[in-house]
Structure formats: C-alpha cells, structure tokens
Structure 1
C-alpha cells in the first residue's frame, strides 16, 4: 500500500505567546549591603563586577521591546535565569530581618495585563523568566518559513524548546512561585492540545483567554484526533479488519463536524482548509470500506464508544531544559560559600571517600589473592621452567646478584693475591729492620773499640731495647697472620667447586630444567600447557583491568566537585547526594564483576594446574630445585665467609704498621742537625772524626744536648751550622719509623758507615701509598 498523502497543510496557523511585563527593581544595593554585613567590604568590592552584571541584565529585561532581537532576548533570559540560581543559593530574599528584605519582584499576567503579582522571594522572578523564555521560543518558531523542509525543522525545534521551558516551569518553579496565592494563572499553562483544551474550558482559564484561543485549540484538537483516526483506519484496512476501520473513520468525521459547528466565524482559514481536506479523505475511505463490507466481509460495525483508545505515541518531546539552564558552572558570586553549603560538601566528600576506600581495598585484595594463589601453585614459574627460563626465589636471587656484583668467586683470587703482597711487604720490612739493628750494633762495637773511654754513648742494646721488643711483637703478629692466610687459601681451594655455581651468568642456567615426560600416552601435553597459559593471560588481563579501574576511581574523585551544584541547588541536599553518588554505581559494579570473574578463573586455573603438575611430574622438579637452592645458599655463605676473612687480613696488614709505631709519636721534640748529603756504607763522612783524632770542639764541631730520655751520648752538627730544633715527625708506617730511628742514631754519632735506602712506592689493596722516606731537610733519599 502506498503511503497516503497527509491531509494537513504546511501553512497551518500557529499561536505565539507574548512575554510577561515586570516592574523595575533594584538588586544591586540590597545584595551589596548583605555582602558587606555578612562577609566584608573587601568581598563586596571583589564582587562589584558580578553585582553590576546582574543589575544590567535585570535592567535590560525591564526595557524589553518589539525591536529586540529574539535570539539575543532568548540568550539574555537563559543567562539571567542561571544568575538567579546563583543568587538564590547565596542571598536569602524574604521579609525576614536577617535576609535581603528590601527586594520585591512584581510581574504582570501575559494574557490579562491588568493582573499582577508581587512577592519578596526569588521564585516568582525565576518562574516569570521561565515563562518569558518559553514565550520567546514560541515567537522564534513563528519567524521561520514553514513551507520549506528546513523552515519546518527550525520551527519545530523552537516550539519543542518552548514546550520544554513551560514543562520546566510546571515541574520546578510554578509551585514555589504560588506562595500565598500571590501569582498569576499564566505560569501554569500546558501545550498539548487536548490537555490545553480541557484546561482553558474550566475556571479560572475559561474567562482568562481570548475566544480566538479557545476556537484555535478546539479546531487543532479535532484535527489531530481525526488525523489519528485516518492513519489508524489505513492500517486496519491492510489487516482486513473492515468493521473497526469503518468505526474509526466515522469517529474522525464526527469530531471534525462537531468542531466546525462550535468554532466561531473568525476561525483561521488555513485550519478550516486542512479540516475540509481531511474530512473529504475520510468520507472517501468510509464509502469504500462500507461497500467492501456489504459485498464481501459482512461484518457488524461496532459503535464508536466501544472502541479502545487510539494508541498514543508522542511524535516529539519537550526539550529537556535541565542542561540549558544548568547553573552549576556559573562563576557569578563563586567566592561566596555559605556555611550550609560547606558542611554539605564535607558530608558528601566523606561519602565519596568511603566509596573510594572500600572499592580500592577490594581491588587490592583481589590482586593480593591472585598473587598468593599463583604462588601456591608455583605459577607462572613452572611454565617458565618448561620453556627453559627457570627463576630463583627473589631473596636468593638478590643475594646471588650481590655476590656477582662484588666480583664473585673468580674475584677472590685477586683479593687473595693482594693479601699475599701485603704479607710479603711486611716480611720484607721485618727483615730489613732486623738487618739495620744488626748493622747498628756492629758499628757501635767498632766505635767503642776505636774511641775507647771517649765513646760515652750507652750500649746499642740498651738504646734499641724498646724497638727490639716492638719488632719481636711485630714478627709474632706476622707469623700468626701467615697462619691465617694459609687457612684462607686452603678454604678457598677446598670450596671453589661449591662456589663455582655462583659464577653462572645468568645464575638461572645452573637450575634444573623441566621437560616433557619421556613417554606420553595421549600426546596431550601441549594442549594442557596451552589451556593453562591462556587462563594465565586472562588473569593478567583482569589484573590490568583492576589497575585501570583504580585509576578511574581516583580520576572520578579528583573531578567530582559538586560545590557549584550545591550552591545552585534549591531542593534537598540528600536528593542531590543520591543523584551524584549514583555516578559511582557503574564503576563499583565493574569492580564487583571483575572480582567475580577472577574468582571463577582461579578455580579453573587450580584444576588446570593439577592436571599440568601430574603430567609433567612437578614434584620431582620442585625437589631438584630445592636441592639446588640449598647448594646456592651454602655457596653464598662460604663465599661471604672467605671474603670476610680476606678483608680482615687486608685490614690487619694495613693497620699493623701504624699500630706498631704509634708509641713513638708521643716522644717530645728533640734537636736534629742538618742532614748531610746522601752517602753509602763505607764512604767517609765529611763531618766524621778521622782515626786518632779527638772529637772536635767549638769552631769545629759543637756538642748538642740530648732531648731523648735516657740518651747519654752527644751528636755533631756540621761546621759553622747552628743546631736546629725539630719536632719528631709523624710516621706513616713501620718501615719509615725504623729508617728515621737509624738516621737519628747515625746523625748523632756523625758516622759514615750507614746506608740510606731509596724506598720504592707501594700501593696496597686499599689504595694506601707507602712513599719513599724524606729526610728532615726536605731532600729525598
């Protein structure tokens, strides 16, 4: 069946609603005074621009005229309504002495201008603004050319917006504005034709509207009802339900006939033309249907009163104005936060924090449950072992890594060699010092034989007794250290095979491997592994999803600022809380679904892992791993023991020499001569007395006084030189101490039979340098 041509005309007459008129009112001064009194003069100054803007918008609305642009008028009304919402939440306007009590809003009726209403509350102001917004939208709708498709679309959008404004007025503002019956009836109008017809046919609207409005609504209601009957009859004809088709057509014709009888002579010609065309189509269809029924169907036509109501479906819906009039983002007077709003925000924040904390704990518990469950099943370690990627327990792996960073067992040999070198150097020092003592004793005996009683210096054994005792202790310490060194070497040699496992890089290569069973009954091993790996991937996906959900929770909380909505809310805070907190329901449900899915998946993984463990003999593999772990632990323990012993040895050798010489740093200063040039044993000293000569007197050599307790001899200065007083220099090592002691002795005696050595530099394992000896006059030997 072809689509029938509509009987409605594109040029149907539409009615526009005119705006309500108002009386001038001053908002600036009362609101500013309230800010000064309840906040501060400074706050009032900061809000000066907002007060001026509000004042300017109200003045523009008061001066409305036909010359104003309808779109700009619409925008002004919308912006002013949002500003009023911000004012409502911050400024209590009423007759109360503590409120803004010097503001009275007055508005005239749109249809009966002589009627007016005055109230000391902002609800009348908001209701009037909503009415005017709907009126402006209806006026905008009439400006479009409805003979074109685009014009009809634009006009429809405007009329839908008008309906939305009036619906918002009906559901939100009109009841609040009706306080004490001080309001006009125009703020309660609906726009569906049948509802409008029923409304304006009864008091108080029956005498309120012009007769042309009543005629227009009656004709429109009849036209739309008959159109619905016409459309329904076409569908009934297709289904061959002829009897009901005839009844529907008769009902539509009757509605049109009654409407034409009741309408006055001044009805719009376009509406009457549409009614006549539709009536013609209905009568033609009725004639055809009755003929078919009389000749073919012979069905009884039911009375119209017995028919069910026509199925109703709204072709358009009023525009939802909640978003258009949402003042939650309004910045006007934003700095004024009443105490009630601050407390409400605190309570809401606690509610949100409780949700976030509870859900975060669920997510963390879910992740921890997955981790513990996998650890108990040795997953995914056993899968990795099957693929040749065995892993160590974390703590053990960290210990192995620390050993390898410090050089590992292979590096112990180098440290042991440092120990040997230090031991050798100390033994060499011991031997050299003993030789020096022997030479000194021999030379003392030679001078005693040469000079006889004139050689009054104490015996060499007496002067060097303390040094000899210290040297003996030094020798004993070196012997004990040598024994310890030998034990370290033997321990390292005996345990090198055990410790060699620590040299593996990576260490995991030393672990046992897990392989397929030698014999397979059904060759199903790959399928078992594949199923288990797929389940583990699904578990990992759930874990990543939880991480994303946790981030979403934090982001939602960060963005959840309902203070603007609290400030503009005119209803119960609890209702707003329920609405706002409901936005967390979806993510809470997703978290619950994630945890349920993980619980079920873990049960599947446990069953799959039991099959995997039985197929691949995991228990034997685990036992082999435990044995290997113990071997690694024993190797680490032995390595640490040997390394600690070596470090103690190195520390001993480095600190032995300063410890041996520390007692000599306490002696007081004593007088030293200027050092002679370097010389070797057997070379005649230019300052020493020759065979048979007397010791020189002043003018040749000058006797000095000993500054050394127990020193009985004297020493010589070079001819013409004055003796110098020097503090005893610090000794950095045992060898330097011995060299200095012998230099002191020979300088005092003026002997030439003493050899000074140029000592080589030596760097210890700890970087300690043992430099060559420097004489008191600064020359190096």
Structure 2
C-alpha cells in the first residue's frame, strides 16, 4: 500500500522554474477495494444476491485503480478521473455514504498529513480535487507564445477554477469527516481565485501578442492585478499562510505588483499616443514605484529571491528596466519639449478592469447524469439496485404505521376496555351477579386458580419457597461475614508485623493491608447492600404471605372444602319476580359488554393483519419511477421529504379506525350508563339479603388471594434464581479474600523468620484494628422495588 502511494507521488511534481504559472499538486491515496464490502452490504441491507452485481463491483474497483494509479497530467488521466467521479455521483444515489469502506487521502500540500474515513462523499470530493489539479497542470504546460496554446490554457484554468469553486460550494459540505486543510473552504477559495488569475493572465498574453490597443491591454492587466490581490487576501485566511506551498505567497504578491506596473505602463503608452504627456510621466512614475516595491521585497529578504522562480525574477527585472528607460525618456521630453504639469500619482484616474476569465466547471462535472451511458462515463453501475433512500423511506413508513396502529389505535381500544373493566370492578361486577346466579358452588376463575395453587403445594409450597429465600439470604450474609473476617484478621496481623520494626527493615516497608484490600472491601460493601435490599424484599413477601395465609391454605384445600367455606344463598334465594327481572336486565347488559369485548378482540386482530400486509415498497418504487421520468438525469438524489404525500395517502386507510374508536367510545359510555342504572336497582333488591353480600365478599377475597399467591410465587421463584447466581458470586469473593489472607499470612511468617505453627514473641500483643471502613453503595439495578412485582437480578 505504501509502495502504491510512493509510486503515485513520484509523478506528482509540478514545479517548473522556467514557468511563471502555478499548478496544484495531486492528492495521493492508498489502495481501497470496494468488492467485498459492497457485496456484503447489498446482501445484508438490500436483501439482494450480490452475485447479480459481480460485474459492477469489478468495474468499480477497476475505475478507482485507473483513476488513482497514475498522477501524470494528461487527457487520459483526466478522462479516467472524470469517469470515476461520474460513477461515484450515481452510486451515491444507490448507497448511503457509509458502507464500511475506509478511504485514505493525503494532503496535496502537506503530504505527510492524511484523512481517513468511511464516507463515499469524501472519496468523491478527493477525486474532484484531483480533477481540478489536472486542469491546472494542463494549463501550466501550455506555452505563452502563440494564441492556440494561450486559448487552451485559458480554457483549462477556467475549468480548474470552476471545479475548485464547485468543490467548495457543493461537494465538500456533504463530507462527514474532518478534512485536511487542502480541502478547507479557505484553501479552495484561494485555489479558485488563483486559477482565475492565471486564466485572465492568458487573456493579457493574448492581447499583447495580437497587439491590442494599449488602453485595452491596461484594463486587462488591471483585472489580472485585482485578481492576484484577491488571491493574496484569500491565501492569508485561517492557517493558509503556513499551509500553501513554499514560495506561493511571494509569487502572488510579486505577480500582483507586476501587473499593477504593467497596467500603468500600458496606460502611459496610451497617454503618449493621445498627447497626454504629463499623465504619461505620472503613469510611468506609478509603474516605477511598483517595480521598486518588487525590487525592495527581493533584495530586503533573501528568502524571496530563493523561493521565487527564475522566470518571475527575469520578468520583474525586464519590466523594471523597460519602465525605468521609458520614464527617463518621458520626463526628459516633457521637461524639454512639452512642459505639461505632471499630476500626482494619487490623483490619476483609476484604470477600469476588463475581466474575461470566469469559473466554468465542465458540464460533465456539474451534471454527470446527462453523460451516463455515453462513451465519457460508460453505463451506470448498479442501475438495477433500488436506491437506499427507498429502503429508508420504507423503514420510516413502518415506524409511522407502527406508531399509528399500535401506539394510537390499538392502545386507544385497549384503554377503552380497561376503562370498562375499571367501572365494572368498582361495581363489584360480575361477582355480585355470580353470587346470585350461582348461589352454590364456585365460579370457574376461582376453580382454575385453586387448582393452580394446589398443584404448587398451596400454603406449604409458598412457605417452603419463602423459607428457602430467607435461608439463602442468611447464607449470603455468612459468606460476606467470612470474607470480611479473613480481611480483618489479615489487617490485624499486618499491624503486628509492622509493630516494633526498624525503619530500614523489610517489615516496615511492607505494603499496608489497606492498599491491597480496597477492591475486596468495595465488593463486600456492594454485595452487603444487595443482600440487605433482598432481605427487605423477602420481608415484604413474608408480610404478604402471612396476611393471606388462611386464604392460601383454603385455596390449597379440596374443592368441596372451599365450597363449604363460601356462604351459600340456596337457603334464602331471591324469589321476587320483580327482583328476578332486575337481575335479568343487569345480566343482559353484562352479556352485551362481553360481546363488545369479543368483537374488539376480533377488530384488533383484523387491524394487525391489515398492518402486517401493508407493504409500501411497490408504491415507493412507482413513485421513484415517476420522479425519475420527470428528471433529465438518472442521478436522482432522493430525499425522504419527497415521499411525504405518499406516506399520507397510504396511512389514510387507517383513518376509518379512528371513526370506529369514536363509535365504540360512545357505545361503551351508553352501555356503562345503563349498567350503572341497572346496578342501582340491583343493589336495592339485594340490600336485605345478608348471605348474598357475604358470598360476594368471600368470592372477591378468593379472587384477590389467587392474584396475591401468583405474585408471591412468581417473585419467590425469581428470587431463587437470583440467590443461586448470587451464591456463586459470593463464594468466588470469599475464596478470593481467604486466599489473599493466607498468602499474606505466609509472607508475614517469612518476614518474621518464623516457621509455620510457631508464634514470634513480638506478635503476642496486637493493637485493635479500626473497623471504620468506607463502603460504597451497590448499584441500584441489583435490588428489588417493593412497590413493583418482585424481580431478582444477578449482580
């Protein structure tokens, strides 16, 4: 890879002392392969077989290799780079910028500095920079002695300026990485201005060769000077003064002064032709002043003479001699013959500039889509691949549909049903009806719940789980105590080893226990907090079990025993026909509510089925084709907002469900009002029936007890898994503390020169170890929240 860059850089040399024109160096790169990464991306993100694009992948790699393998400025290299740029522009309408391919490009002016990122926009920008560099180098290689060469150079520099301008205005802003300074806004603006300077300079050379009027040549030279002055200003922005190639700033400043002098000299020749002898002298004096400024810069700082090209120095010298000669002649003639007053230089009328150079990026750069399929760019690669934005649009539609269907519509239906249940529970329905309609026996819900409790061992089973949890908590505490005890004993022994030791003894310099046990003690503190919170949660469950113990015991009994404990109204049934009519009406409303709930379940299933079958992809493809038919180029940069109307049209089919929900809300409100009225009459009818009220209360208590048993059972089983995991962690912690303490004990014996089993004399007295240790709190996600269903988690 380094060899590839080295070979490319070897041809990247644009310095030419015999030329007064500046050219831009190429950016160099390292080898990058598209094939594997793009194939994997097509398979994973587009769900298409990458084999269908085997040729496209091969051609893309060949295009990059051809565009970056050689950096000699010629028409073939230019065509290869333009072709690669055009295909990149089209590919960016198919793939996202980040396709897991890293591109590395080096700074054109600081070759050791590079930028690396996974960004196709960055790759395209770097290629476009080199296209501008090629145009600049082609222009610099043209001669300045014939009109044909000057015309070609003029065109090249204008195109270079257009490329750098387009790169700065449109392309660089799309890059998603920190670029090198050669791609900064300041640098690209300076390069555009430089290319315009040199294009306008070609116009000046051409005007001199064709012997245009001196007045026009002066105007053209003034424009050249203005452009060079603008370039000097832009080259001083930001950090460019230390970034542009060595000698460029000096080159630009001398060129600016040179053409100021040229403009004044040419204007003086026009004054001579029109017999304005005093102004002629003033113009030549102004030109002489500019020449003197160049001379002062070169002679004052030898660095200038070393860094300026020989061609520039020769031009400046020849100009200075010519201006000096003409100035001497004009002053003599005016003093002796014409005797016209010489105006002050500052009072001379400005020479209006005449600008012909403009930034003109080639059409194939500005709109490469028009050239796809032609010989210039070749057929578009990955033409059959659906653009990535279509996948994004489909995903966005799915998100919006999910929000509408699940979060809005289905949630609204579920909320309606929940509101209905809440009202019925507040009226103790249907338990109150079941107590009358089934004066003996148990409702199915209680029978099923009792069978579950009986299968799990009833009260004895839940008590066994609770006892196990409490025992596990106690065992965890014992393990923590054992771990801490080992550390405390080691700390006491460490103090005894250190006690009475001389300062230079190894015993005195032994690492203190506290420095080595911080991590262990922090772990112990953390787990103590976990175990304490688990103990509190166990206590909460125990309180719940104790409160409902008699109900748990009853529900674990045989069915006939439960039925005997529930009051029966068979001995005193409601026989009043009016009362029977009230009960019947209430039951009818309850039946309607049950039917309403069943219909809602069916409606929700239907809505989910419609949503699952709703695929917007065909409609998106049709919309893409419609937009493509309206476009003059196959390079379509689709944006998600272009599909907003289609999204709205597709989601409109779900609006009828909002009307359904409104109708359900209204029907439920009316039905619940009827239930409330019927329940009032029902309450009056049964007010004188104490056994009925007792039966209702008993059934309600059994329903609640079943819920509490299920909660306690779930939490205790979850807790058992938690304690199993916790036990393994605590055993590991305890063993680590014990092993550490044993190792330190053996080390202490060695330091004291005592064999195992012996007791050194100076270890007889042991100061008490302070137990004040800081213990950090445990993470909150390792505990139970008593207000929520109990859930254990592994620390």
TM-score interval for Structure 1 and Structure 2 normalised by the shorter chain:
0.3 to 0.5
* Structure exhibiting the larger radius of gyration computed from Cα positions: 1
- TM-score calculated relative to the size of structure 2: 0.39
**Structure with the largest fraction of helix:** 2
TM-score (norm 1): 0.39
